[in-house]
Amino acid sequence: MDTLFSNFIAYIFDILYIILTAYMWIIIIKALLSWVNPDPYNPIVRFINDITEPVLNKVRLVLPLGGAIAFDLSPLIVIVIIWIIIALLKFIEYNYILPYFLFYSYR
C-alpha cells in the first residue's frame, strides 16, 4: 500500500514538473512571437496571449521600471521563478517525501 501511495505522490510531482515546464516553453514562445509581431487574431497567438498575459501583467506591476526600459523583462523573471519552483519541488520530493516512503516500506 505504501508503494502505491509513494508512486502516486511521485506521479503528482511529475505532472507538476510537466505543467511548469510546458508553461515555461509557452512563455519562451510568447517572447519569441513578440519579436515578429504576429497576427493578433490567429487562434494560436490568442491562446498563448490568454495563458501568459495574466502572469506577465502581475510581474510587470511589480517591476520597478515598468515602461521605462526598451524591452520587457517579465518573461525572464517568470522563467526564473518557474526554475525556482521546480528546484523547490524536487528538493521537497527527494529530501522529505520519497525518503519517508522508502524508509517505511522496508520495515
pTM of the model: 0.83
Residue 15 confidence (pLDDT): 96
Residue 10 confidence (pLDDT): 83
- Cβ contact 101:2 at 8 Å: yes
The span from the CA of 76 to the CA of 89, in Å, is 20
Residue 33 confidence (pLDDT): 92
Residue 76 confidence (pLDDT): 93
Residue 104 confidence (pLDDT): 58
Q: What is the mean pLDDT of each run of 10 residues along the chain (107 residues)?
A: 75 94 96 90 95 93 69 90 96 82 57
- Cβ contact 34:72 at 8 Å: yes
Residue 71 confidence (pLDDT): 76
